[in-house]
Amino acid sequence: MSGSMARSNGPRRCRVRGDMEPVVSTEGLRHRYGRRTALAPITLDIPGGRVVGLVGPDGVGKSTLLGLIA
């Protein structure tokens, strides 16, 4: 995915370059299972007309994020 990820303790951001309208857009998305945080605040735009991937190790919230988007 085009864009850059901010490295900080705050919300993570991924913004799309160019003028493609995002098909998914979140701002400050978070999710908890009881007291356990499954997703810290996430802000991202997923561009239309492109193939994108979501990668990471087990247990970091990839499936949770995709489930919330769906």
Q: Domain residue spans in the chain?
A: 12-69
Tell me which H or E stretch contains 56: none
Predicted local distance difference test score (pLDDT) of residue 2: 44
pLDDT at 16 over 70: no
Average pLDDT over all residues of the chain = 80
Contact (CB, 8 A) for 68 and 41: no
Predicted local distance difference test score (pLDDT) of residue 55: 95
Six-digit token string for 50: 């492109």
In 3D space, the residue among 17, 14, 23, 19 whose CA is nearest the CA of residue 48 turns out to be 23
CA distance 29 to 40: 7
In this prediction the pTM is 0.65
The Cα diameter of the chain in Å comes to: 39
37-56: per-residue pLDDT in tens?
Answer: 889 999 999 988 889 899 99
Q: Which amino acid is at 8?
A: S
